[in-house]
Structure 1
């Protein structure tokens, strides 16, 4: 974050003091004296002396004609360049009827420091987003939601991380209503599942197509590693699908002893019934799975 600080000879000392405060905050400050080479009030020219690396322009408000001329010019110039234009009035002398005032963020001695702290946070976040989008484009990946979901399905974790850094929601869904986390689970990419879960993806959100939560999809795939990741992230084991099935019912229906034991250890209830009236215990009994029946009758520790 680089601040081009415009001041006149009149407020040069104050400008240096304010600049030192910003530099302590880790900001780069470039000092520009508007009175240099423009001492005559008859000279109505304005020198375009804004350094190209400037991200913000800070003007000390002054009532002299030269300062006002520069202030009026740069307020419009910054608007056209998309730069943040800040106007600091330390003396309370600003003309409230100034037609250019609406182009600036007006600060006072009381509000300046707190504003710059919050502005640095905002700017750094925007820079992070901008850089992430640039890196995606360098990889030949367009910055659209569909592209994010595509890299999730393909297992491209580095590109997925860039999409998240670029501000894309980890809860994005595809046209079928399947969230990114469920897509990562179905595509069996454990590290992507871990990344999305850690980034705030809805760990218990049901997909719109089959009505499954991510843990149900993981059980259906028989993927123990992903199941463990989701359980450690807080997946609800007794959540029911649109058909009333829990993850344990799916595991028992598949005869999957390993995942049934894992889910049971996390508190899964083998007596919850689905819309057909069958429970995990019921399926274990139907298929005469003695190991599962023994498991479901084992007292929890």
Structure 2
């Protein structure tokens, strides 16, 4: 398909999680007339979360979809142009940057803010998807509080899994760490922490066969050992901690990424290795992955983009 440029914008924002919407609010207020494409998952990962109790300004808590709707409406209030569609490719070789949307429309942008997020990896079980948000989670620091005093499972053997198990052990009665291999891949320090925590039980050589539950949510998990033996464990929370995949495929290697695929930024900024291209939220953050840190980095990206645009324009 022959591509032709359909329009040129001052500020193009890719992604509609807390980072993208916050960037839009700041960019719009700076008269940059931002155009935001919502991406594959409008509202981002929070739309699959039920209660959010740790976002400032909501003393009674808020459900994830409502929080994202509020952020979206705030961006719209300042005349952000919010559109359906997702970036399928980009040409960052020169300014204005060219971004192809839905494999057909090309938008030229003087500044580009990438807030495409990261997708949590799941095991791929139907039962796991069925109970997402009803006992199945990919974020212990987001959802662990709801399982206070209860028994939970964490799946994974790396640093993330060890960290999540350790965190949950301070809240939950019992944490089962289900590890496919016969060893942890986590750092030695994290391994020591796990092994020295009395309410964490590590189940080596086990995989999840089925997440069990009913109308009220998860109530158990069926595990199978590498010897073929099945074991049912009664739990109310099932945390998947096998990593995230940053949504950077459309960039085709044009930006500097780390070994996993997260966008590298200059310390303390949103600046990438290409002037005029900025990154915010989970697409550049393998460590914190919180709505509030994503929102903060969206603010930083918009301020960086505004300063860059004004400097180039001058």
TM over 0.5: no
Larger Rg: 1
- Structure with bigger helix share is 1
The structure in which a higher percent of residues are strand is: 2
TM range (shorter): under 0.3
Q: Give me the TM-score of the superposition, normalised by structure 1.
A: 0.23
Relative contact order higher in (CA < 8 Å, ≥ 6 apart) = 2
